[in-house]
Amino acid sequence: MAWHFKSESNSLWHKVIVALHSSRVGWEGFPIKKSLSGAWNNIVKVLINVKVGGIHIKNFFKGVIGNGNNISFWLDTWITDEPLKNKFPELFRIEAVKKCTIVNRLTDSNDKWIWSPQKDGSFLVKAVESLLSSDRNLGSNFVLEWCGWIPDKCNIRIWRAEMEKIPTKLALRKRNVLSGDPSCPLCCSADESAEHIFTACSVSAAVWNGISIWCKIPFIYVFLIKDLLGFHSSVPASAKKKEAIYGIVIIVCWSLWRARNRLVFSNVPVRIDRILSEVKAISFLWYSNRSTYKGVSWEE
* Domain carrying residue 88: 2-123
Does a structural domain hold residue 136?
no
DSSP 11: S
Q: Could you report how far apart the first and last alpha carbons of the chain are, in Å? A: 36
> Can you give the pLDDT of all 300 residues of the chain as single tens digits?
677 777 777 788 778 887 887 766 666 777 787 777 778 878 888 777 777 777 777 778 788 777 767 788 888 887 888 888 888 888 888 888 888 888 777 755 566 777 777 777 787 777 777 776 665 554 456 788 999 999 999 999 999 999 999 999 999 988 888 878 899 999 999 999 999 999 999 999 999 999 999 999 999 988 899 999 999 999 999 999 999 999 999 999 999 999 999 999 999 999 999 999 999 999 999 999 998 887 676 666
86 is a domain residue:
yes
Residue 147 domain-assigned (yes or no): no
Surface-to-core class of residue 246, CB atoms within 10 Å of its CB (0-12 exposed, 13-18 middle, 19+ buried): buried
Residues 6 and 113 in one domain: yes
- 295 occurs within a structural domain: no
Please report whether residue 144 resides in a domain: no
If asked whether residues 284 and 177 sit together in one domain, one would say: yes
Tell me: do 286 and 161 sit in the same domain: yes
Asked whether residue 93 is assigned to any structural domain, the reply reads: yes
Q: Tell me: do 119 and 156 sit in the same domain.
A: no
Helix then strand then coil, in percent of the chain rounded to 5, is 50, 5, 45
Q: Are residues 47 and 113 in the same domain?
A: yes
Q: Output DSSP code: residue 56.
A: E
Q: Assess if residue 296 is contained within a domain.
A: no
Domains of the chain: total: 2
Residues 6+ apart with CB under 8 A from 67: 103, 107, 108, 109, 110, 111
Both 188 and 284 in a single domain? yes
Residue 26: the pLDDT is 67
Contact partners, residue 144, CB within 8 Å, separation at least 6? 155, 158, 159, 162, 229
Q: Is residue 300 part of a domain?
A: no
Q: Please state whether the predicted TM-score (pTM) of the whole model is above 0.85.
A: no
